[in-house]
Amino acid sequence: MLKIENLQARIEEKEILKGINLDIKPGEIHAIMGPNGSGKSTLASVLAGRADYEVTGGSVEFLGKDLLELSPEDRSREGLFLAFQYPVEIPGVSTTNFIKTAVNEKRKYQGEEPLDAAQFLRIMKEKMNLVEINQSLLSRSLNEGFSGGEKKRNEIFQMAMLEPKLAILDETDSGLDIDALRIVANGVNQLRSKDNAFLVVTHYQRLLDYIVPDFVHVLYNGRIVKSGTKELALELEERGYDFIKSEADQAV
Amino acid sequence: MDAIQFFTDAYAQQSSSLHLHAFQQSNLDAFSTMGLPAIKHEEWKYTKIRNLFKDGLTYTPTLSNSEIKFQTLKGTEEANRIVFVNGLYNAALTHLIEAEGNIVVKPLDTAAGDEDAELVKKHLGHSKDYHLDGINALNGAFAAGGVFIKVKPNVVLTQPIVIYHVTDNANGMIFSQPRILGYLGKNAEATIIETYVSTGNSESLSNEVIEMCVERDANLLYIKLQNEGAHSSHTGTTHIRQLEKAMTQAITISLSGAIVRNNLNMIMEAEYGESHMYGLYLLNGNTQVDNHTIVDNQMPHCFSNELYKGIMDDSSSGIFNGKIFVRKDAQKTNAYQSNKNVLIGANASANTKPQLEIFADDVKCSHGCTIGKLDEEALFYLRARGISETNAKALLLHAFAGDILQQIKYEGLRTHIDELISERLSFQI
C-alpha cells in the first residue's frame, strides 16, 4: 500500500529525514516511535504534503501512485489521512459544512455523485456514535474553542467520515487523558479492516496498549534504526530511548 | 473643459428649482471656490477623483423617460421601492407597499415648500460641515432633483425601503448626483437599502449625498450594496444624525466598481445613543474602494462599534480611514473600531488609518487594524482533507466575511449576497 524508499527531506537548510525505508501492507498497523526531534512528525507531514518541507531524495509509492507528485488534496482523495498533532482552529467555518465539502470533493474525485443532505446526515450520525462525538460540537466553528481531547476526537471523526486507506495518526495521544485516549483508540479499532492500514506516530508506549501495532519502528536522527514487534515498544517504555541512541550512535 | 466652468454651465441650464434655489446657489458658490479635490487634499489622498471627471461625461440633470428596465435586488422582492434614474428621483418608477400615511416620499423640492419645509430647512446640507471638499457642494448645487423620505412617528416598517440608483448608460458615459433627505420620527423603525444598477457598460460616476435624521428611540438600519461592475465609479456620503437617543446601524458592502469612495458619518448628538457600522469590501481587478467613516460623539454615554473587513484580489486596493471624535462633553463614551484586511492578489494593496480625536477624559475607545494573508496552516488543514485549494481559500474567505454578512437580518438578501460572494470566490462542488 505504502512503500517508502530512502526518503530524505529538509526544512529550510536543515536535513531532517536522512533515508527512511518503510513498507506498509493493507490490514497492518505500524507504530513509529522515537525521541523528540527524531523526525517523526516530519515524516507524517511530508507524507501528507506539507509545503514547508522539501523532499531531497527517495520515493514514496501509495497504491501504485507516486505520492510525492500529488497535491495535498489529491493525496487525501486517494485515501491518505493525516490526523494532525495540532488540529487547526478555523473560526467561521462550521465543522459540518467543512466535512460535507471534504466528503463530496472526494466523491467527485472518485466519480461519484455528491451526497444529499439526508444521506450525509445519516452517515454523519453513524460515525458520530463511533467516536462518541456530540452534535453540538459539530455545529460549532471548526475546532474553535475545542478542548485538546475534543480536537483529537474530531480528527478521528473526520477520519471515520473520509474512510481512508491509510491513516497517519501524528501523536494523537499527546495531551489526552485516559478516557479520551480510550475513545480515540476505540474509534481507530472499529475502523480497522483488512483493507486499510494505520501509521501511528507516538512518543509513548501508552497508546499502543489500546491500538496494538503489528510492527514498531524506532526513528532516531532521521533514520529508522530499529524495527520489531509490539514487544519493542514495551522495551522502549522500560529502558527509555537512551539504549537506542547509543546503539545507533555506535553504528555510525 | 474646466470642471468649475462645466458645472456652472450645467447649473444655469438645469430646470429651475421652486424652493431650493438659495440652497443650490450657495453650494454652487462653495464648489466654485473649492473645485474638485486634488490628491494633496489629505482626505482624498488615495482617491484620484479628478481623473474621473473626464471629457465626454454627460451631465444633463433632466428627467429621463420612465420606460427604463432594471433588475430588482434579489431577496427584497417585497419592498418599498424608490427609484432614481441618472441621479434624479423618478416618481413614476417609485412604488410603495407600505400603508398610506405611514411613510411620505416626495420630491425634495416639493418638501422644501410644503408642511415639511421646516424639516428640510433644518436638516438639508448638514453633512457639508464634515466634508469641505467641493464634491459635497457639487451635489448640493443640484439637490432639487432629490427625494424626501419621512417615516411617521411610531411606525414600524414591515418591509425595507430599497432605493435603486439606475444609471442609464447604454448610450454613453453618465454622471449623476442623487440626493436624499430622510427623517425617522420618534420611535419609528425602518430599513433603507441602497443599490446601484446600470443599463449598459459605459463608464459612469455617481456623486451621492444621503442625509438621515433619526428622532428619539427610533431605529434605523441602513444597507449600501455596491455591485454595479467595473465601469462604475462612485463618491457617496451617508450622513446619519441621531437627534435624540436612538439606534442606528449601517452596513456597507462593496463587491465591484472602478473607483469607489464611501463616506459614512454617525453623528451622535444626544446622550445614550448607539450606533453600529459594518463594512465588507471584496475586490478584484483594478477596483479601488475607499471607506471613510466618522463617528462624532458630542454627548455623554454613547456607544459605537465599527468593524470593516476587506479582501483584495488581483490589483485591487482597499482603503479604510476611521475617525472617532469624542467631544469635550462626551464623557463615558464607548467607541470601538476594527479594520481587518486579507490580501490575496499579488498586486493587491490595503491602507488603513484609525484617527481618534478625544477631548473628554473619561472614555473607553479602542481601535485596531490588521493586514495579512490567508493562514497557511488553516489552508493546509483543509487541503489535507481533500478540499481543493480554490475551495479551501473560498471557505476561509467566506468565514472571514461571515462576521459582516450575519449582520444582515433579511435572510433573502443575506443569502443573495452570500451567493454573490461564493460565486466570486469560485466555490464549487
pLDDT 10s digits, B149-182: 999 999 999 999 999 999 988 877 889 999 999 9
Tell me the residues of chain B between 343 and 362 that have a Cβ less than 8 Å away from chain A.
Answer: none
- Interface contact B375-A50, CB threshold 8 A: no
Q: Return all residues near B170 (Cβ < 8 A) that are at least 6 apart.
A: B199, B200, B202
Measured between alpha carbons, how far is B207 from B39 in angstroms, rounded to an integer? Answer: 17
The answer as to whether B291 is a domain residue is no
Q: What is the pLDDT of residue B17?
A: 82
Shortest CA gap B407–chain A (Å) = 14
User: Is the pLDDT at B56 greater than 80, yes or no?
Assistant: no
The answer as to whether B345 is a domain residue is no
Q: What is the pLDDT of residue B152?
A: 97
Q: What is the pLDDT of residue B70?
A: 87
- Interface contact B386-A71, CB threshold 8 A: no
Three-state DSSP state, B181 = strand
Q: Which residue has the cell 506498509?
A: A24
Measured between alpha carbons, how far is A31 from A224 in angstroms, rounded to an integer? Answer: 12
The answer as to whether B23 is a domain residue is yes
Q: What is the pLDDT of residue A36?
A: 87
Fill in the amino acid letter for B181: L
> Domain ends where: B243, B270, B297?
B270
Q: Does B119 touch chain A (CB under 8 A)?
A: no
The answer as to whether B146 is a domain residue is yes
Label residue A112 left, alpha or beta by phi (over 0 means left) and psi (-120 to 50 means alpha). Answer: beta
- Interface contact A73-B395, CB threshold 8 A: no
For testing contact with chain A, the best of B280, B385, B421 (most A CBs within 10 A): B385
> Domain ends where: B228, B244, B270?
B270
User: Is the pLDDT at B340 greater than 60, yes or no?
Assistant: yes
The answer as to whether B242 is a domain residue is yes
Residue A162: its chain B contacts at CB < 8 A? 385-386
> What is the CATH architecture of A2-251?
3-Layer(aba) Sandwich (3.40)
Shortest CA gap B396–chain A (Å) = 7
Measured between alpha carbons, how far is A82 from A43 in angstroms, rounded to an integer? Answer: 11
- Interface contact B429-A50, CB threshold 8 A: no
Q: Which residues pair with B194 in a beta bridge?
A: B163, B224
Label residue A222 left, alpha or beta by phi (over 0 means left) and psi (-120 to 50 means alpha). Answer: left
Give the chain A residue nearest B390 (alpha carbons).
A73
* B399 and B253 within one domain: no
* B68 and B206 within one domain: yes
Shortest CA gap A155–chain B (Å) = 10
| Nearest in space to A5 (alpha carbons), one of A70, A64, A60, A80 | A60
Q: What backbone phi and psi angles, to 5 degrees, belong to A200? A: -105, 110
* B188 and B69 within one domain: yes
Instruction: pLDDT band for B309, please (50, 70, 90 cuts).
Output: very high
- Nearest CB to B429; choose among A48, A77, A105: A105
The angle formed by the CA atoms of residues A113, A119 and A121, to the nearest 5 degrees, is 130
What does the buried/exposed string (b/e) look like for A92-112 if buried means 16 or more CB atoms within 10 Å of the residue's CB?
bbbbbbbbbbbbbbbbbeeee
- Nearest CB to A162; choose among B386, B396, B403: B386
Q: What is the pLDDT of residue A241?
A: 85
- Interface contact A162-B429, CB threshold 8 A: no
Q: What is the pLDDT of residue B414?
A: 96
Give the chain A residue nearest B391 (alpha carbons).
A101
- Interface contact A73-B380, CB threshold 8 A: no
Measured between alpha carbons, how far is A5 from A59 in angstroms, rounded to an integer? Answer: 5
Measured between alpha carbons, how far is B393 from A70 in angstroms, rounded to an integer? Answer: 19
Task: Look at chain B and report how many structural domains it folds into.
Answer: 2
User: Is the pLDDT at B57 greater than 80, yes or no?
Assistant: no
For testing contact with chain B, the best of A45, A52, A98, A140 (most B CBs within 10 A): A98
- Interface contact A106-B398, CB threshold 8 A: no
pLDDT average per 10 residues of sequence, chain A (252 residues): 96 93 96 92 96 95 96 97 96 93 96 94 92 89 93 94 96 86 90 95 90 94 93 88 83 66
Q: What is the pLDDT of residue B353?
A: 95
Q: Does B382 touch chain A (CB under 8 A)?
A: yes
- Interface contact B429-A158, CB threshold 8 A: no
Q: Which residue has the cell 446657489?
A: B25
Q: How is residue B273 annotated by DSSP?
A: -
The residue-averaged pLDDT of B264-289 equals: 97
Q: Does A71 touch chain B (CB under 8 A)?
A: yes
Residue B403: its chain A contacts at CB < 8 A? 92
Shortest CA gap B57–chain A (Å) = 44
Task: Give the containing element (helix H, strand E) for A247.
Answer: helix A242-251
User: Is the pLDDT at B403 greater than 60, yes or no?
Assistant: yes
Residue B387: its chain A contacts at CB < 8 A? 73, 98, 101-102, 105
- Nearest CB to A92; choose among B380, B392, B402: B402
Query: pLDDT of B74-103, one tens digit each?
Result: 999 999 999 999 999 999 999 999 988 899
Average pLDDT over all residues of chain B: 93
- Interface contact A90-B400, CB threshold 8 A: no
β-strand pairing of B147-151 with B103-107: antiparallel
- Nearest CB to B386; choose among A93, A105, A141: A105
The residue-averaged pLDDT of B215-223 equals: 98
Instruction: pLDDT band for B63, please (50, 70, 90 cuts).
Output: low
- Nearest CB to A106; choose among B383, B386, B399: B386
Q: Which residue has the cell 446601524?
A: B249
Q: What is the pLDDT of residue A246?
A: 84
The answer as to whether B305 is a domain residue is no
Q: What backbone phi and psi angles, to 5 degrees, belong to B191? A: -115, 130
Rounded to a whole number, what is the distance in angstroms from the first to the last CA of chain A?
Answer: 31
Measured between alpha carbons, how far is B124 from B241 in angstroms, rounded to an integer? Answer: 11
Adjacency order of strands within the sheet including A65-66: A14-24, A2-11, A53-62, A65-66
Contact A93/B403 with Cβ under 8 angstroms?
no
Q: What is the pLDDT of residue B347?
A: 96
> Domain ends where: B270, B305, B334?
B270
Q: What is the pLDDT of residue B126?
A: 97
- Nearest CB to B381; choose among A88, A97, A109: A88
- Interface contact B385-A76, CB threshold 8 A: yes
| Nearest in space to B223 (alpha carbons), one of B257, B186, B190, B197 | B190
Residue B406: its chain A contacts at CB < 8 A? none
User: Is the pLDDT at B24 greater than 70, yes or no?
Assistant: yes
The answer as to whether B282 is a domain residue is no
Tell me the residues of chain A between 143 and 172 that have a Cβ less than 8 Å away from chain B.
Answer: 158, 162
Q: How many CB pairs under 8 A join A and B?
A: 77
What does the buried/exposed string (b/e) look like for B293-319 if buried means 16 or more CB atoms within 10 Å of the residue's CB?
bbbbbbbbbbbbbbbbbbbbbebbbbb
User: Is the pLDDT at B104 greater than 80, yes or no?
Assistant: yes
Measured between alpha carbons, how far is B243 from B297 in angstroms, rounded to an integer? Answer: 12
The answer as to whether B327 is a domain residue is no
Residue A91: its chain B contacts at CB < 8 A? 399
- Nearest CB to B386; choose among A73, A90, A91: A73
- Interface contact B400-A92, CB threshold 8 A: yes
Q: Where are the domains of chain A?
A: 2-251
Residue B375: its chain A contacts at CB < 8 A? 88
- Domain encompassing residue B428: 376-429
Contact A120/B429 with Cβ under 8 angstroms?
no
Instruction: pLDDT band for B277, please (50, 70, 90 cuts).
Output: very high
